Structure 1
Amino acid sequence: MQLSSRPESNDFRSLREVLAREYDLAESPFSFGGRSFLFTSVSDSYALLDRITPEEFLRDEQMPYWAEIWPSSLALASFLGEEVQMHGVRAIELGAGVGVVSIVAAALGGAVLATDYSSEALRFIHCNAYANAVGLRVQRLDWRNVMQPGKFEMLLAADVLYERVNLLPIITAIDQLLEPGGSAYIADPRRRMAEQFLELAAENGFSVKAYAREHCGSGKPVSVNIYRLRR
């Protein structure tokens, strides 16, 4: 487990320089909960496909989804800033990507563990935590085989319901990681796959409440549902 405390500006510059030598970077400003943020991501995630060997793809079928800032993550970050009390809450994010949701949750006072399967993503989380002077923990985690990092009062995930094979592992991970009485917030751009996920959640004893959000980015508005799962 790694720690991003509240580092010096030199830490950010050094890491960003390393990333800039390896990737074409993009910087995106946002505002959540009355605070301004700046996030670094990859300008063209499709260019990363060349980094994936056929052997790696056959083993994991992992695509570089982590490299983009998705509307669902922005909608969930906005929701946390407007609707959720984060101060002092122990939270974990699955599939954190470049860390938007985790960093906003930590800035709002949460004690956050940001996780992703991709080790590349973890470096971007550190970089963005440094850039926004936010402290959180960072750890590689495979939601298909959770090595128990503890129990949490809150679980967060954005845009993770894109493959049918992921649905049951995500439900199982929520069951393993969430404290009794805790809440999981899952943001999804209204894919049909989410309906199957909600059916699985109900079969496994979770109650569900849906919140409708709309993210207005540089393109057309994207409708996002945020599902709160509780037992």
Structure 2
Amino acid sequence: MSRPVSLDAPLDELLDAARSRYDVRFEPVTVAGQTLEILQIADLEALLDRLVATAGAGPIELPYWAKIWPAAMLLAHFLPHLGPGEGRSLLELGAGVGICGLFAARRGFRTLITDIHPDALLFARINILRNGLADTADVARADFSADRLGRRFDVVLGAEVLYLEGLYRGLAKFLAAHLAPDPAAEAVLAKDYTRKATRFLSLADTEFHIAERVVGYKETNPENGEPERKLCQIFRLRPRKQA
């Protein structure tokens, strides 16, 4: 088993820890004219094959945190609609490698990138340091279905955090507890259009004004290499109660 490494360690030590667990590489990701180098598992499909082959009869922990989901990319592209980042705080939930939070930090938001998986936090911290964002971004473990961070934020982002109905009530309460009581404060959640979240919207409606936007994008079909049109829903939630 790999020796745990402090997330406060220097970049080279964090990279050594990541390389001891995975075959990794940095890949450029560009959003709205800004390019960041993002640490990725070099061959995610090969990793999945190995996990299946070695799991036997036991459960398989799939590294969902390592994939850059289309909803996360679309949410990162949505950042300019939130206005300038300087002087404002932002929290990313279920961040994985931290795509949205990293680009938010590049736009000047004081950003906290959170996830429950320790390797997600490791990758996100490496990405922060690799891209020179340590002055505006940090990482922390947070379970958005249960935890409280003891602070409020001007913006809360979450891509594909509506995947389990059992988390909906906890997520709605988390958002209410962490959004600043300010007219400009908002949570922005993005998800694949095919994932239904009707119950979450019903729960959140008691605390938030909710606006929905549907965004189309193209994704290559892995089987035939042809582009396919997909849809993503973006929800903007503003607290009903203000200070």
Q: CA deviation at 1:224?
A: 1.3
Q: Which residue of 1 aligns with 2:204?
A: 201
**Deviation per residue, 1:52-97 (Å, 9 max, x gap):** x95xx7xxx97531111111110000110x3221222111111010
- 1:37 is matched with 36
Q: Which runs of 5+ in 1 are unaligned?
A: none
In structure 2, what is the Cα distance between the partners aligned to 1:123 and 1:103?
14
Q: Which has the larger radius of gyration?
A: 2
Counterpart residue number, 1:121: 120
Distance 1:128 1:216, change over 3 A: farther
Say whether the 8 Å CA contact 1:75–1:214 is kept in structure 2.
Answer: no
For 2:167 and 2:142, the matched residues in 1 are separated by: 14
Q: Percent identity at matched positions?
A: 28
- Structure 2: which amino acid aligns with 1:196? R
How far apart are 1:13 and its partner, in Å?
Answer: 4.0
RMSD over equivalenced CA pairs, Å: 2.6
In 1, the alpha carbon distance for the partners of 2:179 and 2:171 equals 12
Paired residue secondary structure (2:65): helix
CA–CA distance in structure 2, aligned partners of residues 164 and 130 of structure 1:
35
Deviation beyond 6 Å, 4+ runs, structure 1: none
Question: Is the alpha carbon distance of 1:164 and 1:140 closer, same or farther for their aligned partners in structure 2, counting shifts above 3 Å?
Answer: same
TM-score when scaled to structure 2?
0.79
* Corresponding residue number in structure 1 for 2:82: 84
Paired amino acid for 2:116: Y
User: Higher relative CO (CA 8 A, sep ≥ 6), structure 1 or 2?
Assistant: 1
Conservation of the 8 A alpha-carbon contact between 2:97 and 2:124: yes
Partner of 1:25: 24
Unaligned segments of structure 2, at least 5 residues: 1-5, 222-227
Aligned to 1:163: 164
- Contact between 1:158 and 1:187, CA under 8 Å: does it hold in 2? yes
Greater helix share, 1 or 2? Answer: 1
TM-superposed CA distance for 1:196, in Å, is 2.2
- 2:98 paired residue number: 99
Q: TM-score, normalised by structure 1?
A: 0.83
